[in-house]
Structure 1
Amino acid sequence: MIVTVTPNPSLDRTILVDELVRGAVHRARRVRLDPGGKGVNVARALAAAGRSTLALLPSGGAEGVRLAELLAPEAVPVVEVPIRSATRSNLAVVDADGTTSKFNEPGPELTEAEIAALETKAAELGARADWLVACGSLPPGCPADLHARLVHAARRSGARVAVDASGPPLAAACAADPDLVTPNLAECAELAGRPLHHLGDVLDTARRLRASGVGTVLVSLGEHGAVLVEDTGSWHASSTASVVRSTVGAGDATLAGFLLAGAAGPSALRTAVAYGTAAVEQAGTRMPAPKDLRTGDVRVSEADASLSLDGAAL
């Protein structure tokens, strides 16, 4: 089983318009409401592929109830940690060409007792899991090292642990030696403390992370695909979407695909990129299912350090 932990889940409303113009009145062509949050999305993709999963999340207010209701038809089991404040709502406005503008609420402020309950439940569930996946932003009131604490809790429970986060929470988690981290290009550059113009810069950063104690590094590169750095080598994979409907959740789908394919080697990287590509072809934050994949279209090769990443969509 794979347990995902999402400290700051959300209701994600996606509005499709012809073109987003600042200050204008817009008529929506289509509106979707999806369960959201990085770990929630990973669990949705895993469940769609028939993999045993469970989504752990804090939940409060009518929004928290609605989030669980939306997950039920997708066969995603949910373990809720009750909180006094309402779960957040996010908005994404998508132009006809796929350009996405996101408006994310900060989320409810968690009390110390609520944070402790989330950690305790994560440790309890980790004892039954192959992987514990700690994902996403932290709501107000959470310590920056919460993901790092989840790494330690998972390790004590015997589960392998993956982290998909950004900023100080990601840096703190890396110092806790997780088995897998999955930054995007911007997050990787933040860890490096400098711009990363070529794939070689990403490889150097990933290798430094591994030398410091991180197990495997999987970096999403937007339109350039993804690169994997692990014990047995480094590979780059890319694919082209047939249409770009929404980029929200693409990284989450990439992580889910990597875990589904065994979380090691070029074959897992191929599946990860196939999932990420399929995700941008879906409306809203709908997660792809195996039937949506075009794995044969993914190109995998040894990582070419000279590949330019300038202009890559983040």
Structure 2
Amino acid sequence: MILTVTPNPSLDRAYELPSLDRGAVLRAARDRVDPGGKGVNVSRAVTAAGGRTVAVLPLGGPEGALLGSLLGAQGIEAAGVPVAGSTRVNITLVEDDGTLTKVNAPGPELTPAEAESLLEAVRVRSAGADWIACCGSLPRGLPPEWYAELVARAHRAGGRVALDTSGAALTAALGARPDVVKPNAEELAAAVGRPLATVGDAVKAAEELRERGAGAVLASLGADGQLLVEADGSWFGHAPAAAVRSNVGAGDASLAGFLAAGGTGPVALAAAVAHGAAAVQLPGSVMPTPSDLAPAAVTTGREIPLDRPLTEPAP
């Protein structure tokens, strides 16, 4: 069972447009609303693959009620923590050429009591969890050290933690030694304070995060593939480039695939790559089902193309 923790969940509304013209009245060809937030997306991907998951998250206002209802409709058990503020609504505009424009709301400000209630909900629900996936930005009111406290409490209870966050929250949590961290290239560059121009640069940055406390690093390099750097060695995984319909939630689908496949080694890396490649071909933040996956198209190995320039260098 994979327990997910999403401190700042959302309702994700996606609109598909021919093009984005500022100042004009735009008519969407299609639209949809999905439960959102990185941990929520991991739960959705686990469920789509037929696995078991529980989603811990704060819920507030009518938006929170709708989010909880949508999760229930998808067969996801939501361990909602009531909060006074309203759950945020994020907007994604998808143009025909694949260009995405995202507007992410800040979300509610949690009180210290609400923050503690969230930690307690994780403790109560974590018994029997194979992994605890802690994902996304922290809402207002939660200090950067909140994830570090969650990791420390989980470890004292014997749990394994996968952390997907960025900035000060990631930096603060490394000292608590999360079992896996999952940055993308930009987040990895920010964590080490230098740009990444090649795959080799990303490997060195991942190794640095391990030296600072991460047990393993699963790094998404976008179209260039994914890296897994852990105590037993490093692996590189890649799948052929596909037509990108939406990359919203693709990294979350990758993490779900990785954890569901054991969370370590090349087999788990291959599952991560397959899930990410499938997710980008689906609309909005739809999570892939087994029929969407193409595992035969994935290649993994210890031979890493260190000199390969990144398609999108991380600043």
Length-normalised TM-score, structure 1: 0.97
Give the CA deviation at 1:25: 2.1
Is the 2:189–2:314 Cα contact (8 Å) retained in structure 1?
Answer: no
Give the CA deviation at 1:80: 0.5
Name the aligned partner's letter for residue 304 of structure 2.
Answer: A
Give the CA deviation at 1:19: 1.0
Name the aligned partner's letter for residue 175 of structure 1.
Answer: G
* Aligned-CA RMSD value: 1.4
Alignment partners' CA distance in 2, 1:210 and 1:241: 29
Give 1:195-206 correspondences, 5 Å limit.
Answer: 195-206=195-206
Is the 1:221–1:312 Cα contact (8 Å) retained in structure 2?
Answer: no
Which range is displaced more, 150-159 or 38-47?
150-159
Name the aligned partner's letter for residue 97 of structure 1.
Answer: D
Paired position in structure 1 for 2:47: 47
TM-superposition CA deviations, 1:22-59 (whole Å, max 9, x none): 22221100000000000000001111112221000000
Give 1:113-132 correspondences, 5 Å limit.
Answer: 113-132=113-132
Give the CA deviation at 1:140: 1.0
The 1:200–1:241 alpha-carbon spacing in structure 2 relative to 1, beyond 3 Å, is closer
Is the 1:239–1:297 Cα contact (8 Å) retained in structure 2?
Answer: yes
Paired position in structure 1 for 2:180: 180
Name the aligned partner's letter for residue 45 of structure 1.
Answer: A
Give 1:1-314 correspondences, 5 Å limit.
Answer: 1-301=1-301, 302-311=303-312
Q: Secondary structure at the match of 2:309?
A: coil
Which range is displaced more, 105-114 or 125-134?
125-134
Alignment partners' CA distance in 2, 1:101 and 1:274: 25
Alignment partners' CA distance in 2, 1:300 and 1:98: 27
TM-superposition CA deviations, 1:265-310 (whole Å, max 9, x none): 1111111011001111111111111111011111223222111114
TM-superposition CA deviations, 1:245-277 (whole Å, max 9, x none): 111101000100101111111111111011001
Alignment partners' CA distance in 2, 1:273 and 1:109: 35
Unaligned runs of 5+ in 1: none
Alignment partners' CA distance in 2, 1:203 and 1:60: 40
Give the CA deviation at 1:128: 2.9
Give the CA deviation at 1:134: 0.7
Q: Secondary structure at the match of 1:47?
A: helix
Alignment partners' CA distance in 2, 1:268 and 1:292: 17
Paired residues, what number?
314
Is the 1:127–1:158 Cα contact (8 Å) retained in structure 2?
Answer: no
Give the CA deviation at 1:313: 8.8
Is the 1:94–1:100 Cα contact (8 Å) retained in structure 2?
Answer: yes
Is the 1:249–1:287 Cα contact (8 Å) retained in structure 2?
Answer: yes
Give the CA deviation at 1:98: 1.6
Is the 1:221–1:313 Cα contact (8 Å) retained in structure 2?
Answer: no
Q: Secondary structure at the match of 1:218?
A: strand
Give the CA deviation at 1:312: 5.3
Percent identity over the alignment is: 51
Alignment partners' CA distance in 2, 1:310 and 1:46: 29
Give the CA deviation at 1:311: 2.5
Name the aligned partner's letter for residue 140 of structure 2.
Answer: P
TM-superposition CA deviations, 1:226-260 (whole Å, max 9, x none): 11111222111111343211111010001001011
TM-superposition CA deviations, 1:47-101 (whole Å, max 9, x none): 1112221000000111111001111222110001000111000000001122111
Name the aligned partner's letter for residue 242 of structure 1.
Answer: A
Name the aligned partner's letter for residue 287 of structure 1.
Answer: M
TM-superposition CA deviations, 1:157-201 (whole Å, max 9, x none): 211001000110111112210000000000000011010111111
Alignment partners' CA distance in 2, 1:35 and 1:241: 27
Give the CA deviation at 1:124: 2.1
Q: Secondary structure at the match of 1:197?
A: strand
Q: Secondary structure at the match of 2:141?
A: coil
Unaligned runs of 5+ in 2: none
